[in-house]
């Protein structure tokens, strides 16, 4: 009878935890809207081919683009590029369809050296989060590796991983323009930056459960009937499923 009870309990536990795991997998987390935040006197958002900022969340990073006028690219113009030492900033705000645990951010940059389309100043991106879209709090300042290379046109995917997950409905990324490499040119600061896609990495990590096996004094215990095998099975099910990590990249 004890074996039957242990087996039923184990099966019930497995299906219950599996149901939780599957539910987490099936939860659709998407970026609902994306907006530009910047001083219009300093920076302008210019989607190519008469598109809108929505192309940044359409799932296509136009990795095969051969020129900056390709549909799917959004350029951001620095209107102060002739002023030495002036480094305008701008932000992109992503609104998710619901508040969720966020583990990182992804950005696809379009780079075209000869058209003066480069990367953020010092390859640095500041990330903030919010639950209401009004009050934003810092996550961290991230630095990545990359450069715009003469003679090359490229879409570079940048992934920014957080030290720990944060719960948010809004994610803001802020970038600045840096000094240009074009000596003798009046545009002493990079004039353009380009993006083709933005997104977040959503992760849910369940609490680890500790299953302890209780024992009784040998003098009063009944003979071993094999129940420990079922207890071990239960422990394995709990630790395996409760320790599962669901990680998605969503746009």
Mean pLDDT (the chain) is 81
Residues 6+ positions from 30 with CB-CB distance below 8 Å: 57, 96, 97, 250, 251
Neighbours of 212 (CB within 10 A): 7
In b/e form, how buried is each residue of 223-250, taking b as 16+ CB within 10 angstroms? eeeeeeebbebbbebbeebbebebebeb
Percent of the chain with pLDDT over 70: 69
For the chain, domains (ranges, CATH) are 2-25+209-246 (no CATH), 31-205 (2.60.120.260)
Strand partners, 182: none
Contact by Cβ (8 Å): 198, 249: no
Please compute the mean of the pLDDT values over residues 53-64 and round it to a whole number.
Answer: 97
Taking 80 as the threshold, does the pLDDT of residue 29 lie above it? no
Please compute the mean of the pLDDT values over residues 34-44 and round it to a whole number.
Answer: 98
pLDDT by residue (tens digit) across 116-174?
999 999 999 999 999 999 999 999 999 999 999 999 999 999 999 999 999 999 999 99
Q: Of the candidates 36, 28, 68, which has an alpha carbon nearest to the alpha carbon of residue 52?
A: 36
Question: Cα 250 to chain center, whole Å?
Answer: 7
Q: Of the candidates 169, 231, 203, which has an alpha carbon nearest to the alpha carbon of residue 3?
A: 231
pLDDT by residue (tens digit) across 99-110?
999 999 999 999
Contact by Cβ (8 Å): 9, 17: no
Quick one: pLDDT at residue 183?
Answer: 86
Task: For residue 189, give the DSSP letter.
Answer: B
């Amino acid at each position: 009878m004890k074996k039957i009870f242990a087996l039923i309990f184990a099966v019930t536990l497995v299906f219950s935890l599996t149901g939780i795991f599957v539910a987490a997998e099936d939860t659709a987390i998407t970026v609902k809207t994306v907006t530009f935040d910047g001083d219009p006197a300093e920076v302008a958002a210019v989607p190519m081919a008469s598109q809108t900022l929505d192309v940044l969340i359409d799932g296509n990073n136009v990795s095969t683009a051969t020129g900056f006028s390709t549909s799917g690219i959004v350029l951001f113009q620095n209107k102060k590029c002739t002023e030495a030492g002036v480094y305008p900033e701008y932000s992109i705000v992503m609104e998710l369809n619901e508040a969720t645990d966020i583990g990182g951010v992804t950005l696809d940059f379009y780079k075209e050296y000869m058209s003066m389309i480069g990367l953020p100043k010092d390859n640095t991106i500041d990330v903030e989060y919010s639950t209401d879209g009004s009050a934003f709090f810092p996550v961290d300042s991230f630095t990545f590796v990359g450069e715009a290379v003469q003679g090359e046109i490229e879409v570079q995917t940048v992934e920014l991983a957080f030290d720990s997950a944060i719960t948010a409905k809004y994610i803001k990324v802020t970038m600045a323009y840096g000094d240009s490499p074009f000596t003798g040119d009046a545009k002493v600061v990079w004039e353009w930056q380009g993006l083709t896609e933005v997104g977040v990495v959503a992760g849910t990590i369940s609490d680890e459960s500790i299953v302890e096996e209780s024992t009784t004094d040998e003098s009063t215990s009944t003979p071993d009937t094999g129940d420990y095998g079922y207890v071990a099975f239960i422990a394995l099910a709990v630790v395996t499923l409760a320790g599962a990590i669901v990680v998605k990249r969503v746009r």
